A and B are shown apart, each in its own frame.
Chain A
Amino acid sequence: MIRVAAVGDVHVDADVVGRYRPALDQLATAADVLLLAGDLTRHGTTAEAECVAKEFGGLAVPVVAVLGNHDYHSDQVERITEILDEAGITVLEGSGTTLRCGDQRLGVAGVKGFGGGFSGRCATAFGEPELKAFVRHTELSAARLADALSTLDCDIRIALTHFSPVPDTLVGEPLEIYPFLGSSLLGEAIDAGGVTLAVHGHAHAGTERGTTPGGVPVRNVAHPVIGDAYRVFHLTAGAPVEPT
């Protein structure tokens, strides 16, 4: 069994430093790894990234993250990634990492993801260049997630995104903004990727639990949704499921 803790949308700035630490200090007793599902900062500044590094760095378990839309706001993604990396936090973007947990190998593939909406109600790459660019960003992100999943050599695969791969976990959000909260292209990549669990954030007013059309459990771990400092999932490897 592998124990996975996850939280997203922690929006750390100086005023948050120290608030998560009491729960994080007990993390090693409950989990083998911590996943951060994006929106780690408020405005995506390097000063805020230093606060994230202080709050979530140096833990007794590995920490794996993706960035969210807030983390892109100040156009400092490269430096933010470096700061987190220096604190021992692995930042994924179209990439994956494999961790040994006891006698099992956990693979995590991550992308920020993007919007576009869900099956039957999707934006399409048609018309104005701005709309085509929007949709193509999502298509590229989903393709990068699929690639990252396919290269993982592991017993259990997790897909980590900021945007949602399914509409199920958006219930509670206004229907009108679903296209800005996720895309079924991400769900399609997850269903083809031999994934045991998909974790995302972004939808503060959404719902915790959902499932892809292919039956993969999806969990929205945005802090406003889960309330607690993190959620813990216990995963057991069955027969290896390889990406299709």
Chain B
Amino acid sequence: MTGEHRAAALQRVLAEDPAIAELGIDATIGQTPAGDVTIVLSGQVETAERRSAIEQRVRDEAPDCHVVSDILVIEPTLPAEPEVLP
């Protein structure tokens, strides 16, 4: 399977696995200079538990790959200034 097909399959898994259900995670497959296959995950989730679950699911799905996670956990902080609309 090519890297592109593999990335597509991973994104389907992350959306359709009931334990994950994340549609906004991007998986990019690359290669280190040493030839190791790397999967870079990016996107945003609500909790650290969800980020860990995604990372573990991808490791289980692709045990031969090095998984790099750039997934951000977003904190529901207080907003700054309101926007005044005309």
Residues of A whose CB lies within 8 Å of any CB of B are 3, 7, 10-12, 15-16, 19-20, 22-23, 26, 30, 42-43, 70, 73, 196-197, 204-205, 217, 219, 223-224, 226-236, 238
Contact = CB atoms under 8 A, between A and B. Distances in A.
B1 to A, nearest CB: 21
A53 B1 CA distance: 44
B36 interface: no
A233 B77 contact: no
Interface string B3-29: 000000000000000100101100000
B50 A15 contact: yes
Contacts of B21: 42-43, 70, 73
A21 to B, nearest CB: 9
Contacts, number: 79
Nearest to A204: B24
Interface of B: 18, 21, 23-24, 43-44, 46-47, 49-50, 74-80, 82-86
A11 B23 CA distance: 11
A10 B80 CA distance: 19
Nearest to A30: B82
B35 to A, nearest CB: 29
Given A15-B46, A43-B18, A26 B78 contact: yes
A232 B82 contact: yes
Contacts of A30: 79, 82
Contacts of B23: 204
Contacts of A196: 85
B49 A15 contact: yes
A219 B47 CA distance: 24
B85 A235 contact: yes
B85 A15 contact: no
10 contacts: A12-B46, A15-B50, A19-B75, A19-B76, A43-B21, A204-B23, A223-B76, A224-B24, A224-B44, A228-B79
Contacts of B84: 233-234
Contact of B24 (A197, A205, A219): A205
B44 to A, nearest CB: 4
Contact of A204 (B18, B43, B79): B43
Nearest to A229: B76
A227 B72 CA distance: 11
Contacts of A234: 82-85
